[in-house]
């Protein structure tokens, strides 16, 4: 059954020119070493240390020259990727070997699961259960809690049945009849919370 709920995706709140500044990886990881749960360090091989010494902040395996004895042939950007302390963290992935753990910069060490959880915005008192690999998978597959808040808030009227129902089929038909330029103008108005009223048939 069609609910008639016209969900509008929340506008971005973090970033340049937005309501809040980005949270950097350095800010997110502040004092994380004091958290006793899920903070075990992985053993890092000497060769991996030498590889990481050749990678810049925010970089990955592509920073290593192909003629270097430490060159690594990677297929995805996650391979030997180091966080940039002054930028938001890149995607935390759930699994994989071959240098996909995610690494610090400048110190050559891999991220602990608690550090991954911090970057995913999990609170420090949220304790994960399972093996190191299982916990890594849980964190990497999760939706960041802070990132879902505005979406959940946008859906509350649906669950409370407190919204103006509209004919979504007519709305869809109306949008499909619009030019790309008109759709972009509409999207821009919604982004700035000045929705254009559509006259539906």
Tokens of 91: 């995607």
- Please check whether residues 158 and 170 belong to one and the same domain: no
Record the pTM. Answer: 0.82
- Per-residue pLDDT tens over the stretch 53-96: 999 999 999 999 999 999 998 888 899 999 999 999 999 999 88
Q: Say which DSSP state 73 is in.
A: -
Q: Residue 144: what pLDDT?
A: 93
Within this chain, do residues 94 and 170 fall inside the same structural domain, yes or no?
Answer: no
pLDDT at 200: 41
Both 135 and 48 in one domain: the answer is yes
Q: Is residue 2 part of a domain?
A: no
Residues 140 and 181 in one domain: no
Range 155-191 burial, b when 16+ CB lie within 10 A, else e: eeeeeeeeeeeeeeeeeeeeeeeeeeeeeeeeeeeee
Say which CATH number the domain at 146 has: 3.90.120
Report residue 90 as tokens.
């890149």
* Domain membership flag for residue 1: no
Query: CA-CA distance, 39 to 111, in Å (whole number)?
Result: 9
pLDDT at residue 199 in the model: 43
Whole-number CA gyration radius for the chain: 22
Averaged pLDDT for residues 30-37: 96
Claim to verify: residue 129 and residue 185 sit in the same structural domain: no
Q: Average pLDDT of the chain?
A: 89
Residue 188 lies in domain: 166-201
Q: Are residues 33 and 63 in the same domain?
A: yes
Does some domain include residue 51? Answer: yes
């Amino acid at each position: 059954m069609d609910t008639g709920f016209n969900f509008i995706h929340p506008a971005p709140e973090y970033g340049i020119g937005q309501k809040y500044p980005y949270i950097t990886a350095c800010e997110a990881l502040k004092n994380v070493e004091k958290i006793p749960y899920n903070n075990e360090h992985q053993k890092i091989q000497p060769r991996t240390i030498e590889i990481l010494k050749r990678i810049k902040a925010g970089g990955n395996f592509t920073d290593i020259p192909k003629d270097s004895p430490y060159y690594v042939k990677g297929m995805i950007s996650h391979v030997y990727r180091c966080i940039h302390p002054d930028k938001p963290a890149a995607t935390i992935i759930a699994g994989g070997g071959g240098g996909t753990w995610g690494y610090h910069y400048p110190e050559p060490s891999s991220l602990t699961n608690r550090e991954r959880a911090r970057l995913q915005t999990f609170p420090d008192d949220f304790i994960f259960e399972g093996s190191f690999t299982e916990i890594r998978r849980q964190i990497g597959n999760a939706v960041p809690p802070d990132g879902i808040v505005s979406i959940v808030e946008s859906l509350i009227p649906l669950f409370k049945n407190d919204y103006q129902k509209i004919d979504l089929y007519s709305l869809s038909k109306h949008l499909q009849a619009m030019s790309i330029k008109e759709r972009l103008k509409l999207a821009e108005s919604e982004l700035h919370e000045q929705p254009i009223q559509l006259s539906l048939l």
